[in-house]
Amino acid sequence: MRVNIKKWKTGEGWKAGAAILLGISVLFLYACAGQQAEVDRTETELSTPEEAVQAAMEALKELDMKAFNAYTDNYAGTRRNWLGFPVEKEYRVFNDLMNTGWKKGARYEANYKLAEKSLARLTWEIRDVKQEADRAEVDMEITNIDMAKVIGKYEIYELEYLANGGEFGVGQFVKGMFRLTNAAEDLAAIMDTLGEEDVCTVSVTVQVYREKECWKVHLGQDFIDAFLGYGESEKYPLEMQKRIEELTEEIEEGAQEWARQFEDSVQPGIS
């Protein structure tokens, strides 16, 4: 009997880790329930593309989601059940901060604190604006915490748990799922360990368009990656890649040993 556990694909870098970890936890925070009404455009009129981008970034920095949603196309649609009734509104970023229902519990508080930390170092500079009729491109330089290092440290943290006495089999799966429910708190703690130099700066072109006499910012994936701190490189720093590879090998060996022990334990019961 041979057990092959799926290795962390270090060659794919932080995007592979982010898809697994943050998809489960927070930076793109999807959750159930939400009867919150769709946000109307604010009364503030944004007469130029530059004003729209500046207002959107300021609202993002303050986590003023009502204003941010008004200045951008963050609202993506409404999910309906099989009867056609609306059950959840969907947003491109910080979905869980919108779909809170009438009660904001511990999970919301943990996610909100993580969102605050993820934006604490956010700064930006508008470099150029190119406008043609009702569309414009705004060239920006955005700096934020280096999320590749945050996700890399989180992967190492989880792999070290497995390599240093973590269990294999069903018990480990259950414990692992429980640990993932606390991912927001763990990620926030990791952010606190990073130094001031652990930031990344990305140049990005933001699309802006006029809607109902007011300019609105499009949340393209490059723009989202930039303000959330995902740099242009799709790989972890070299030292993190090396550590992940070492831990993966250790876990492979542990899994094979567990498989051999399990096989030995069931052999006597086989006639």
Q: Across the strands, what pairs with 157?
A: none
- Give me the tens of pLDDT residue by residue for the chain, a chain 271 residues long: 443 444 444 445 555 565 555 554 444 443 333 333 344 444 456 789 999 999 999 999 999 999 999 999 998 888 887 777 777 788 899 887 876 655 577 778 888 899 999 999 999 999 999 999 999 999 999 999 999 899 888 888 888 887 776 555 444 544 554 455 577 888 889 999 999 999 999 999 999 999 888 999 999 999 999 999 998 767 778 888 888 888 888 878 777 766 676 566 665 555 5
Question: 225 is written with which tokens?
Answer: 């990656």
Count of C-beta atoms within a 10 Å radius of residue 12 = 13
Which residues share a beta bridge with 125?
Answer: 141
Give DSSP secondary structure letters for 156-197: HHHHHHHHTT---SHHHHHHHHHHHHTHHHHHHHHHHHS-TT
Please give the helix or strand (H or E) that residue 144 lies within, else none.
strand 135-145
Provide the angle, in degrees to the nearest 10, between the axes of the packed helices 183-193 and 170-181.
70
The three-class DSSP label of residue 79 is strand
Q: Report yes or no on whether pTM surpasses 0.85.
A: no
| CA quadruple 39, 40, 42, 45: dihedral sign | positive
Question: Could you tell me if residue 95 is left (phi over 0), alpha (psi between -120 and 50 degrees) or otherwise beta?
Answer: alpha
Q: What's the distance, CA 134 to chain centroid? A: 32
